[in-house]
Amino acid sequence: MTLRINCWSGPRNISTALMYSFRERSDTTVVDEPFYAHYLRTSERKHPGYEEILSSQEQYSEEVIQNVIRGNYSTPIVFFKQMCHHLVEMDLSFIDNCLNVLLIREPSLVIRSHAKNVPDLQVSDIGLDVQNHLLNRILESGMSPVVIDSAILLERPESVLKELCQILEITFEKSMLSWEPGPKPEDGIWAKHWYKNTHESSGFSNQTPNRDPLPEKFLPVLEEATVFYENLKKYACKGID
């Protein structure tokens, strides 16, 4: 039986690094943002590479769920890197048959980074509202949420990955801590617009983030997003030795 893991992230949350980490496992296939084209078609948000992305993927969520999420794989584990804001106008019942991880990041850092490519950014563009919806869905089902805060992951990658693997009931592999720099075959066609820093990396790098004040126009977005973030943060993994 295939173990299917959805990692529900917002943009600029080191989700690509976490996908690369799982890619290094001996038993795992990774899939990069399978609902991106569906999201662009449905929302009509004009992201960089809009036409290329629409041409590169199935654009209808029903087909993605049937052929990608529920598809056949040669490995016992499949890791789907997912963007929460891609979950628009679709049936979410498929997530109940998967393991679901919520990857969060301090919203001021996300807003500053993501606004470079999405200058009219709103809370719905960074997914924290949807992550809270997923959190509540998990809690209402009686299950314990699995939340990873990127700051803690960057600070203590081995410790947090060990805890994550323990929760997912899979074996931690030391190989998850590093990867070769450069693009990966699994990268979506959008990688050239978004993955430059990750392509230059070879592991989880805990660099000092830019904390310059945000432009005033984004302060209402930050205020709304922070409420969602603080609620999710209460459930974040701390790591194990």
Reported pTM: 0.93
Residue 13 sits in a domain of what CATH number? Answer: 3.40.50.300
Provide the pLDDT for residue 81.
98
With respect to residue 238, please indicate whether it lies within any of the assigned structural domains: no
Please tell me the total count of domains within the chain.
1
Residue-wise pLDDT tens digits, 20-32: 999 999 999 999 9
Provide the pLDDT for residue 207.
73
With respect to residue 200, please indicate whether it lies within any of the assigned structural domains: yes
DSSP 183: -
Q: What are residue 83's DSSP bridge partners?
A: 9
**Which residue's entry shows tokens 């979950």?**
87
With respect to residue 108, please indicate whether it lies within any of the assigned structural domains: yes
Averaged pLDDT, 79-90: 94
Q: Which domain holds residue 130?
A: 3-233
Residue % of the chain over a pLDDT of 90: 74
pLDDT at 237 over 90: yes
pLDDT at 212 over 90: no
pLDDT at 2 over 90: yes
Are the C-beta atoms of 75 and 28 separated by less than 8 Å? yes
For residues 204-219, one letter each, b for 16 or more C-beta atoms within 10 angstroms of the residue's C-beta and e for the rest, the string is beeeeeeeeebeeebe
Provide the pLDDT for residue 118.
72
With respect to residue 240, please indicate whether it lies within any of the assigned structural domains: no
Residue-wise pLDDT tens digits, 134-162: 999 999 988 889 999 999 999 999 999 99
Gap between the Cα atoms of 221 and 233, Å rounded: 18
Predicted confidence band of residue 214 (pLDDT cuts 50, 70, 90) = confident
Residue-wise pLDDT tens digits, 90-115: 999 999 999 999 999 999 888 887 77
DSSP 178: B
* Mean of pLDDT over the chain: 92
With respect to residue 241, please indicate whether it lies within any of the assigned structural domains: no
Provide the pLDDT for residue 12.
81
pLDDT at 211 over 80: no
With respect to residue 85, please indicate whether it lies within any of the assigned structural domains: yes
User: Which alpha helices (DSSP H) does 91-156 contain, by range?
Assistant: 107-114, 123-126, 128-140, 150-155
Q: What are residue 103's DSSP bridge partners?
A: 9, 148
With respect to residue 44, please indicate whether it lies within any of the assigned structural domains: yes
Predicted confidence band of residue 230 (pLDDT cuts 50, 70, 90) = very high
With respect to residue 66, please indicate whether it lies within any of the assigned structural domains: yes
Residue-wise pLDDT tens digits, 178-198: 999 999 999 999 999 989 999
The answer for 208, left when phi > 0, alpha when psi is -120 to 50, beta otherwise, is beta
